Structure 1
Amino acid sequence: MNNSNPEIGKSVRTGDIVTNYQDVGSGKPVLLLHGSGPGVSAWANWRGVLAGLGDEFRLLAPDLAGFGYTEVPRGIEYSRARWLAQIVDFLDALALEKVHLVGNSFGGSMALALAIRYPERVDRIVLMGSVGVPFELTAGLDAVWGYEPSFDNMQALMRDTFAYDPTLINDQLVASRHQASLRTQQAFASMFPPPRQRWVDAMAHDEQDIRGIRRPTLMVHGRDDKVIPVANSLLLHQWIDDSQLHLFGRCGHWTQIEKGAEFCRLLRDFFGR
């Protein structure tokens, strides 16, 4: 890990992409797939989980193409197929035959993609505020994907859209995330241009494919999420036979941050079975 910037971890070649990733702890491997907010990285998304579960599991959190410090070729086109190829190449490069899987929001759709296409690579699945089923674009998600860099825009997004309790968000956190968003904005702006309902649809999976998932699955959602509807997790719970659902009250889209200790306890219990 880079001591001056914790977001820079290890790197590995995954096809024509050089993937930056966090690798913390030892034990059963857990693959953590981040969301699609502006300026996001694996470390920014999962730092609390990396600290909270590294004593029991090997936690692997890659920056998906276009995010964080992963290096991509010029002219890359971002798509679910492209990100899935990167994820599989990442597992292969690290000789990981089978992993527990945690997907946050956009990362939840990618977790579903892996479980559907490569079920033999997946053990247990956690989907947190997940994309991946059909739903009507929310104002919150439209604001996230339509972000244009400024301190004020990032502050509004973090305080009014992501978090249930705005006092969790201080100016230092906003400034840090704003600076991070500047570095990847060109890639980010190319991923989800308007009209954005088409990207919700593009990240959704067929009902029968989701119903075909046979791995134990846990859905986690903040009741007060303004970005991804709670109905998504209810639908996934209906479609995945071996599944359970945990709803946190007084919690927005950042379950792993707003309910960090509780979220880690849920994962420890679910993966420990």
Structure 2
Amino acid sequence: MNTQASNPEIGRQIQCGPILTNYHDLGSGEPVLMLHGSGPGVSAWANWRLTLQALKGDFRLLAPDLAGFGFSEFPVDMQFNRRAWLDQIVAFLDAVGVDKVHVIGNSFGGSMALALAITYPERVNKLVLMGSVGVPFELTDGLDKVWGYTPSFENMQSIMKIFAYNQALVGDELVQMRYEASMRPLTRAAYESMFPAPRQRCVDAMAHPEAAVRGIRHPTLMVHGRDDKVIPLSTSLTMLNWIENSQLHIFGRCGHWTQIEHATAFAQLVQNFLKADAAA
């Protein structure tokens, strides 16, 4: 059996309704919930490993694997949808004893961060949305390939190259790690059921009504790579227009991996935003 010592993706476990949730709990200070994206073989640790190390001196960082991803365990007949993931997130916050959090959401995780802020506004302090889904957009070829992934080393390598602007980041070790993760039987079956073609309907299912997004009053930071081939920059521009108290930082020479391609700058940006006076 894998242990945290042999696999850093495995952290602690806590029961969240029907889902035994694998999560990481690092640092101390104001709590920050970190929600990962939906790429094949993803986990909270794979998404946030650099950010966790950079911010653990200032915040209590809570990074769960949502059901169907990473090492969380879930019922075999589970239906994967926004409501089910939101229920898991709320149960997770209750289980770890946190009433209110800052939330950082990456891509798919951004839609879930928005869902939490819209449905349970009292549980959210500030929002950070990185390359976020959650508003209408036309399915990109990159996202279609990501969600349509079938397991092989070559296919994973192709997906990783879509994510990264800097192709040097896509080494064989990273590709092999994500490929092996995508081959775990439980998560492989879950992934294949999540985003069936035609995938525009999956984009639409993760989008929130305009009025709901416009109703968000939380201080919100959007971060996006100018060269993102997975989630278009237009999503963050839309949210900048719809969310009253919001700002947008765009990284040039950056794809869908802002937290990896510009790890130091991203962490500093987030730290400054979360620590700033909300009224400023």
TM range (shorter): over 0.9
In the alignment, does 2:251 pair up with 1:270?
no
Q: Helix, strand or coil for the counterpart of 1:124?
A: strand
**How much has 1:98 moved relative to structure 2?**
0.3
User: What's the TM-score once normalised by structure 1's chain length?
Assistant: 0.99
Q: Structure 1 CA distance, aligned partners of 2:114 and 2:158?
A: 30
Tell me the secondary structure at the aligned position of residue 249 of structure 2.
strand
- Which position in structure 1 is the counterpart of 2:193? 190
Alignment equivalent of 1:221, drawn from 219, 224, 228: 224
Partner in structure 2 of residue 241 of structure 1:
244
Could you give the per-residue CA deviations for residues 23-47 of structure 1, whole angstroms, max 9, x where no partner exists? 1100000000000000000000000
Q: Tell me how many residue pairs correspond in the alignment.
A: 272
CA distance in 1, matches of 2:82, 2:41: 19
Report whether the alignment pairs 1:81 with 2:83.
Answer: yes
**Paired position in structure 1 for 2:176:** 175
Consecutive unaligned residues of structure 1, counting only runs of 5 or more, are none
What per-residue deviation string (whole Å, max 9, x for no partner) do you get for residues 197-234 of structure 1? 00000000000000000000000000000000000000
Q: CA RMSD in A?
A: 0.6
Could you tell me how far apart the structure 1 residues matched to 2:236 and 2:158 are? 26
Q: 2:258 aligns with which of 255, 258, 265?
A: 255
Deviations 1:77-104 (A, max 9, x none): 1000000000000001111000000000
The amino acid that maps onto 1:16 is P
- The one-letter code matched in structure 2 to 1:169 is V
Moved beyond 3 Å, runs of 4+:
none
Give the alignment partner of residue 63 of structure 2, picking from 41, 61, 64. Answer: 61
Give the letter aligned to residue 163 of structure 1. A
Matched, 1:121 2:123: yes
CA distance in 2, matches of 1:27, 1:112: 23
- Quick one: percent identity of the two aligned structures? 65
TM-score, normalised to structure 2, is 0.96
Structure 1 CA distance for aligned equivalents of residues 40 and 54 of structure 2: 24
| Runs of 5+ unmatched residues, structure 2 | none
> Using the alignment, how far apart are the partners of 2:203 and 2:95 within structure 1?
30
Give the letter aligned to residue 76 of structure 1: M
Q: Is 2:93 aligned against 1:91? A: yes
2:171 counterpart letter in structure 1: N
1:146 correspondence with 2:128 = no
Q: CA deviation at 1:74?
A: 1.6
**Match in the other structure for 1:16:** 18
Question: In 2, Cα distance between the equivalents of 1:16 and 1:142?
Answer: 30
